[in-house]
Each structure stands twice: as C-alpha cells, then as structure tokens.
Copies of this chain bind each other. A is one copy, B any other.
C-alpha cells in the first residue's frame, strides 16, 4: 500500500488506529483454546470485529515464533485473511529484523514476497546495508526503530555526541538519506511524550508508528499534540487494551467497543488538528 492510499484510508475512516495482534495462547478466552488453530480463530474474530475502526494490523512475530511451526502457519493464515477480506488494511510485521546485506535480503523476501505484508519493523544498529534491502520493494515500507517505548530505551537511544545530537536523532537523520517518506517510517514510543516534537524536527513528514498507548501508559492526546502533521503522519498501535479487553465469550464485541472508542477519539483529534 502506498502513502496516498494509506492517507486516504485514514481520512475516510477518521482513524489512525493500528491493532496489535500480539496473540498469546495463554491469554485468549478459555473456550477457544481447544478449537483447531486457536490463534488464527481468535485473530479472525478480532479482525472481523475491529476492521471498521482501524487502518492497520500489526502482528508481533515473537508471539507466533514462540509456538514454532504451528505459530508461523497461524501468522501466514492471519495475513492472508486480512489481505483477502480487508484489502484496505495496512499490514505490519513487527519483527525488528536487521542483519548484513545478503541476510536482510532473505528477511525481505520472507516478509514481503512470501508473507505479503506491507511493512516490516527493522532494527538500525547494523546500519545501511542491513536496512537497504527492505527498501528495494516498491509500495512496501521499512519502519525503523528510533525511540522505543520500553524502559531500556534510555540505555543507548539517548546517548549524545559532541554536538549534542542523540543516537535516535542520528538514526532518523541518517536513515532519511537511505529512503524517502513514501517508504520509511519510524517507531517512536508513546511513552516518550514531549520527545515527539524533537522527533518531528528531524522527521517532519515521515509516518511514525507509535506503540505504548494504553497498557504501557502513553497518552493519545499527547502523541497527537506533538506528533501529528497536517496529513496525520501517525499510526498509533494498541494491542492488549483491545484484544484482551475481555476474556469471556464476548471478547470480540468488547474489542470492537474499545477500538471504536479509540477511533472516536482519533476522529476528534484529526478534526481538531485540521486533518479532516
């Protein structure tokens, strides 16, 4: 999906919500645990219930990998299900990959050609040749880790050089030379609050993928205040707050209600910031 289509979907739906499909076999409702392919069954129900309110889905691959071959197959089915039934949804594989050039090419093939997602999260530590192979696919996106939402983000991402430029700023500035805003987004955690204005100084037009709203404590209003551009420029992810909002038989309805609430909030923010 290209940038124009993504922006159109955001305006049309009044939503920049990404639903995180961090599906944990131990957390899905009791009554689904013994069906065939419980992970896919759960995902399908969540997707059918939330699709009207979001513009993107983000499975984190760790949840599927931890189940081995069965997990990968559930992930494949999930991506295919979204693709076939909700072609206007942007699909992000949250895999945080990154390796030397010829190895990154293999990851790119795995996720873009075989699995068919729109975007992949990538770790920046290994530099140019570890990121570039993901940019060779037209209409596909690299979402580079810049400023993450976890406590450990303080360990290295804020280290400053002699001019006061911090590592996350170096990552953003350097990566923007590798690809344009039609193929490159950055991960910026919602817990970073006012840091969004500093991110926007170095990445004025790039989409930001924002985890950490809700369960991790980030505020949607704060993110929009500092991070929203005239076009929107945000994809805000919520995982646990939606998919595990109820553990009962009503889990899909309750997930839909939570997604709708976020969508309503987002519509207001898009309107307040003059995007729609």
Q: Which residues of chain B come closer than 8 Å to A24, judged between CB atoms? A: 106
Residues of A within 8 A of B (CB): 22, 24, 60, 62-63, 65-69, 72-73, 76, 96-101, 103-104, 106-107, 109-110, 114-115, 123-131, 145, 148-157, 159-162, 167, 170-171, 174
Copies of this chain assembled into the complex = 2
Q: A110-B68, A123-B96 are in contact. Are A152 and B131 (CB under 8 A)?
A: yes
Some 14 contacts from A to B, beta carbons below 8 A apart, are A62-B103, A63-B103, A65-B106, A66-B114, A68-B76, A69-B72, A69-B76, A100-B149, A124-B125, A125-B157, A127-B156, A127-B157, A130-B152, A159-B161
* Docked CA distance A83–B159 (Å): 41
Whether A66 contacts B110 by the Cβ 8 Å rule is yes
Q: Which residues of chain B come closer than 8 Å to A161, judged between CB atoms? A: 159-162
A92 to chain B minimum Cβ distance, whole angstroms, is 14
A33 to chain B minimum Cβ distance, whole angstroms, is 18
Whether B150 contacts A100 by the Cβ 8 Å rule is yes
Find A170's partner among B106, B159, B174 (CB 8 Å cutoff). B159
Find A152's partner among B97, B127, B145 (CB 8 Å cutoff). B127
Q: Which residues of chain B come closer than 8 Å to A68, judged between CB atoms? A: 72, 76, 110, 114-115
Most B-side CB within 10 Å, residue of A109, A155, A167: A155
Q: Which residues of chain B come closer than 8 Å to A114, judged between CB atoms? A: 66, 68
